[in-house]
Amino acid sequence: MFSNAGIPGGLFSSMADVTLEDFERVMAVNVRGAYLCTKHAARAMIGAKTRGSVLMTSSMASVMAMPNGPSYTASKHAVLGIMKSAAIDLAQHGIRVNCVSPAGVPTPMLIDAMRKTFPSFDKRCAEDMLETTMELKGLTLEAVDVANSALFLCSDEARYISGQNLVIDGAFTSCKAFSTANSMDFLPIKSFFDQLAARNSSKSQNGTNGQLPPQ
């Protein structure tokens, strides 16, 4: 069973500004969803006496604080806790439980969330942003990379792996930490968004599409 549903919630909202409505909505999807999927999958597997596998999608925000995203960060830490607890409880039934925790992926969900602040934000902008900020250069994390990691953890090749959080981040969390004050203070991100804000401004002035220039 693969619990893969999740939402980012409001981006660029500090702890002092995030609304209770946003917090509860993110927790309902990201945490309650993972909990219920795991609970009912466990019941089915135990009832069928199946040595099954349960996998949840968390995030690199499960192992580091993500400023201006307290709802999302809290939810992904909670998913990691559910995974670890379930791995211990279900081990006696031969059921494995793990997480995959990717860094940013240029998906429609990310692009739509960013467009609320930067209307011209598109897939190319997402790829440029991730290439700028991530540690592993020369490629961008794609959905297929996460899918391949998920397939491995669910396969017999990972038959003795349980209670693990596979972080797919190109070494980012091994050496980086966002500013505790504001993610915009992290220099590569600040530089990128300064450029993007300038493109959005020029779009309204001269009718351009607001995209970043070729690198």
Active site residues: 59, 72, 76
Strand ranges for 119-201 from DSSP E: 165-168
- 8-state DSSP, 119: T
Q: Please tell me the chain's helix, strand, coil percentages from 3-state DSSP, rounded to the nearest 5.
A: 55, 10, 40
Strand ranges for 158-205 from DSSP E: 165-168
Mapped onto helix, strand or coil, the DSSP state of residue 99 is strand
Task: Say how many CA atoms lie within 13 Å of 141 toward its Cβ.
Answer: 26
CA–CA gap between residue 121 and residue 212 (Å, rounded): 9
**Looking at beta carbons, which pairs linking 28-33 to residues 24 or more positions away fall under 8 Å?**
29/5, 30/5, 30/6, 30/72, 30/75, 30/76, 30/78, 30/79, 31/75, 31/78, 31/79, 31/82, 33/3, 33/5, 33/6
